[in-house]
Amino acid sequence: MNIVIIKYNAGNIESVNNALNRLGVNAEITADPDKIRKADKVIFPGVGEASTTMAYLRENKLDELIVSLKQPVLGICLGLQLMCSHSEENDTECLGIFDEKVKRFIPKPGEEYITKVPHMGWNAIQDLKSDLFTADLENEYVYFVHSYYAEKSEHTIATCNYILPFSAALHRDNFYATQFHPEKSGTIGAKILENFLKL
């Protein structure tokens, strides 16, 4: 199986690659459009800030490429947010694969010290749908680090509750995305990556 991790100015590419290596998968990290198009599966990771990352994608025509892909694609963390229509982070127009808007977490008055932003650490995922998840993963804990979230919608395939319920994962056609980091989520994250590779 030919797995490609899209190479761009993202922060977690090597950790995703290491997670795949632990599963016995050798992925190629590349920005070559032909290699990305020909891959069996594509992973679009990301840690960083939305507007500068979108500017980089546009400058390198990766935005048009990602949207045009027909094979299974998995966005991770910032990857999920950039696959949405718009982010409040520096008022950024994103790829528009998902209709959802990305908003900043705002703690409820008086709870600023309880529900800190960013949302950082382990939290449970619920209401799982799609082949990305198996029934035994319901209410399991995965690792999050983010200050912005995608709203819940018809594309939501996993929900997490932090300050409010939000989309922990999204799915539309051949595009899948997780707000959490499967590559940092131990055996549960490994199962989710394996499920993606089986799609």
**Active site annotation includes 146:** no
In the prediction, which pLDDT does 199 show?
A: 96
Selecting among 89, 100, 140, 183, the annotated active-site residue is 183
Band of residue 114 on the pLDDT scale cut at 50, 70, 90: confident
Selecting among 77, 84, 94, 160, the annotated active-site residue is 77
In the prediction, which pLDDT does 115 show?
A: 86
**Active site annotation includes 181:** yes
* pLDDT over 70 percentage in the chain: 100
Band of residue 119 on the pLDDT scale cut at 50, 70, 90: very high
CA atoms of 151 and 116, how far apart (whole Å)? 19
183: alpha, beta or left, given left = phi > 0 and alpha = psi -120 to 50? Answer: alpha
DSSP string, 60-71: TTHHHHHHH--S
Band of residue 12 on the pLDDT scale cut at 50, 70, 90: confident
CA atoms of 59 and 63, how far apart (whole Å)? 9
Band of residue 32 on the pLDDT scale cut at 50, 70, 90: very high
Task: Please check the confidence at residue 10 and state whether its pLDDT lies above 80.
Answer: no
> Amino acid letter at 2?
N
Task: Please check the confidence at residue 73 and state whether its pLDDT lies above 80.
Answer: yes
Match 């595009």 to its residue by tokens. Answer: 175
Q: For residue range 184-196, list pLDDT tens digits in order.
A: 999 999 999 999 9
**Active site annotation includes 84:** no
Task: Please check the confidence at residue 11 and state whether its pLDDT lies above 80.
Answer: no
Query: What's the Cα-to-Cα distance from 69 to each of 2, 4, 62, 114, rounded to whole Å?
Result: 15, 12, 11, 41
Task: Please check the confidence at residue 118 and state whether its pLDDT lies above 80.
Answer: yes
CA atoms of 105 and 127, how far apart (whole Å)? 21
> Amino acid letter at 128?
L
- Token couple for 10: 């993202």
Selecting among 119, 155, 171, 181, the annotated active-site residue is 181
Delineate the domains of the chain, giving CATH numbers in brackets: 3-90+100-198 (3.40.50.880)
